[in-house]
C-alpha cells in the first residue's frame, strides 16, 4: 500500500483530497494506526491541521484513538493543540466527554489527557 501511495504522490495526486465527510488521507492513516504512512503523507505536503466537515483535525482522531505516538508526531509537525471544532471544543474537551467502562482504557485516556496538557492543551469546553 505504501508503494502505491508513494507512486500516487510522485504523480502529483493531492494529499489533501477529501472524502464526502471532508477528511483527507491523514485521517485514514490514523484510523489504521499506520505511523509510516502518516510520516510519508506529512513529508509530502498533507496539511496537519486540515479540517473535516465538523471542523475537527486529525489530531482529534488520533487523540480519541488514544495513540500517543501519532499525537506526538502530529504535534511535532505543528498541529494546533487548541484548535476548535464547529462546536467550540478542542481535543482535550472531546476527551473529557469520553467515558469507558474498561479501566485499562480509562487509564490510557487519563495518560492521553496528561500528555496533551503537558504539551499545552487548555482545559474546558467552549473556550
Q: What is the mean pLDDT of the chain?
A: 90
Separation of CA 78 from chain center = 12
pLDDT given at position 124: 60
Is the predicted pLDDT of residue 36 greater than 70, yes or no? yes
Is the predicted pLDDT of residue 34 greater than 90, yes or no? yes
How far is Cα 83 from Cα 91, in angstroms, rounded to an integer? 7
Q: State the pLDDT confidence band at 11, using cuts at 50, 70 and 90.
A: confident
Is the predicted pLDDT of residue 32 greater than 70, yes or no? yes
pLDDT tens digits, one per residue of 67-101: 999 999 999 999 999 999 999 999 999 998 887 77
- The pTM assigned to this predicted structure is 0.87
pLDDT tens digits, one per residue of 38-61: 999 999 999 999 999 999 999 999
Provide the terminal-to-terminal Cα distance of the chain, rounded to the nearest Å.
40
pLDDT given at position 46: 93
How far is Cα 22 from Cα 6, in angstroms, rounded to an integer? 22
Q: Are 105 and 66 within 8 A, CB to CB? A: yes
Q: Are 90 and 56 within 8 A, CB to CB? A: no
Specify the CATH number of the domain 2-118. Answer: 1.25.40.20
Q: Alpha-carbon dihedral of residues 57, 94, 110, 33, nearest 10 degrees?
A: -30
**What are the domain boundaries of the chain?**
2-118
* DSSP helix/strand/coil, 33: coil
Grid coordinates given for 54: 465538523
pLDDT given at position 23: 92
Amino acid at each position: 500500500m505504501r508503494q502505491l501511495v508513494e507512486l500516487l504522490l510522485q504523480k502529483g495526486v493531492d494529499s489533501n483530497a477529501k472524502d464526502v465527510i471532508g477528511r483527507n488521507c491523514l485521517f485514514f492513516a490514523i484510523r489504521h494506526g499506520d505511523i509510516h504512512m502518516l510520516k510519508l503523507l506529512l513529508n509530502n505536503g498533507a496539511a496537519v491541521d486540515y479540517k473535516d466537515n465538523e471542523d475537527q483535525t486529525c489530531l482529534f482522531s488520533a487523540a480519541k484513538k488514544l495513540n500517543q505516538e501519532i499525537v506526538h508526531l502530529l504535534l511535532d509537525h505543528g498541529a494546533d493543540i487548541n484548535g476548535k471544532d464547529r462546536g467550540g471544543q478542542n481535543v482535550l474537551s472531546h476527551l473529557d466527554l469520553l467515558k469507558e467502562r474498561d479501566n485499562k482504557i480509562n487509564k490510557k485516556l487519563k495518560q492521553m489527557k496528561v500528555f496533551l496538557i503537558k504539551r499545552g492543551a487548555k482545559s474546558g469546553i467552549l473556550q
